[in-house]
Amino acid sequence: MRIDELIDSRHIVVCTGAGGVGKTTTSAALALRAAERGRKTIVCTIDPARRLAQSMGLAALDNVPHRVDIAGTGRGELHAMMLDMKRTFDEMVMDMTSPDRAQAIMRNPFYEHVSSTLAGTQEYMAMEKLWELHEEGGWDLIVIDTPPTRSALDFLDAPRRLTDFLEGRFLRMMLWPYMKAGKGGLRVLNFGTQVALRAVTRVTGSELFADVAEFFRSFEGMYEEFKHRSVRVRDLLGARRTVFLVVTSPSGSSLREARFFAERLAAESMPLGGVVVNRMHVVPDAGDLTGVRAGASAAAAQALDTYERWRALARAEERVLADALGTDGLPVWRVPDLPDEVVDLDQLRTVGALLAG
């Protein structure tokens, strides 16, 4: 499979991978290339390095698409946006409930913590935004960068985890005195639960409980909607016109993660397109140099030493790549390490061309 076939035919490209492997660069380079090939493209990034963001005209993290000034062919356009997690959460709450209730939720001191720090929230919001962009219509291609979570599980589990959290049985049990038992009343607690309840109440104090209970009460009735949304996002992710790319660097540690991501996606029956290996050290082949070395001057020997070191590294990287990803037929796209950092559109274009091979 060639990269151009993917970006020409798919509707959604999801770039996943650990932090620091160049996911945002890959996302932006693919989006730029797709736009220049004639597709109306939006790239949604999570936390781009500042200069890369500036190169795409993204000065502010404002959660709305901005058109990037490029010369696209045909209907090709590039738009870019940065995900604002909290704002996406706010908008979702406002969309799901009455204005009064939304206000009450957002006033709760606990809400801010949940909307900005709860594990899984960022992943959930990225998916919520993906859905919105999809629903909005008009985009030929949506390229979405994912949060740099170390655990692949977080990403696919995010909708379920958030739903579980919001309707968490245990939580509600803990909170019953503050929630006035709710519908159906309270069933008899077993001894162990009572002990646990007492222990945790003692540790946290009751004020926190009151805030938390209020928070959960305000979400009453919204759980079904959360569930509904996570199911449809999952369907969208698993659809034929979606493709996942796992992005990695050629280091042993990030390749281990890449493998983890690939396995997880396969286990979830998600459409994995292949692996992008950024910053590979690709060395042109000079064949056998022993004869040359024998007659080399000091200056030539230094150049040969340098060459041999990089060649050994390039070979080692190919070995760890083969060890990590094996021979399971996954397409692998190698992007050679560029001597300069990728911070402007021209360099993104170069990366796109290298990806396309």
Range 23-52, binding another protein (CB under 8 A) = 47, 49-51
Candidate ranges 32-40, 90-98, 229-237, 338-346; the one touching another protein (CB under 8 A): 338-346
27: which residues sit within 8 A by CB, 6+ positions away? Answer: 13, 15, 43, 45, 143, 144, 145
User: Exposure of 205 by Cβ count < 10 A (0-12 exposed, 13-18 middle, 19+ buried)?
Assistant: exposed
Considering the rule CB under 8 A, would residue 291 count as an interface residue with another protein?
yes
The CA distance from 297 to 305, in Å, is 12
Does the protein bind another protein through residue 178 (CB under 8 A)?
no
Stretch of 69-77, 238-246, 335-343, 346-354 contacting another protein, by CB under 8 A: 335-343
Q: Site residues for another protein, window 202-221 (CB under 8 A)?
A: 202-208, 212
Secondary structure (3-state) at 240 = coil
**DSSP codes of every residue in 16-62:** E--TTSSHHHHHHHHHHHHHHTT-EEEEEESS--HHHHHHTT--S--
3-state secondary structure of 319: helix
Q: Of the two residues 131 and 165, which places its CB atom closer to another protein in the complex?
A: 165
Sole binder of another protein in the list 181, 231, 267, 312 (CB under 8 A): 312
C-alpha 37/C-alpha 31 separation (Å) is 10
Where does this chain touch another protein (CB under 8 A) — which range of 37-45, 83-91, 138-146, 197-205? 197-205
Which residue lies nearer to another protein by CB, 139 or 216?
Answer: 216
Exactly one of 2, 67, 75, 293 binds another protein (CB under 8 A); that residue is: 293
The distance of closest approach from Cβ of residue 321 to another protein in the complex, given in angstroms and rounded to an integer, is 9
Q: Which of residues 234-273 bind another protein (CB under 8 A)?
A: 249-254, 256
Instruction: Rule CB under 8 A: choose which of 269, 299, 327, 346 binds another protein.
Output: 299
* Strands lying side by side in the sheet with 66-68: 66-68, 77-82, 40-45, 141-145, 12-16, 242-248, 272-280, 332-336
Per rule CB under 8 A, is residue 117 in the interface with another protein?
yes
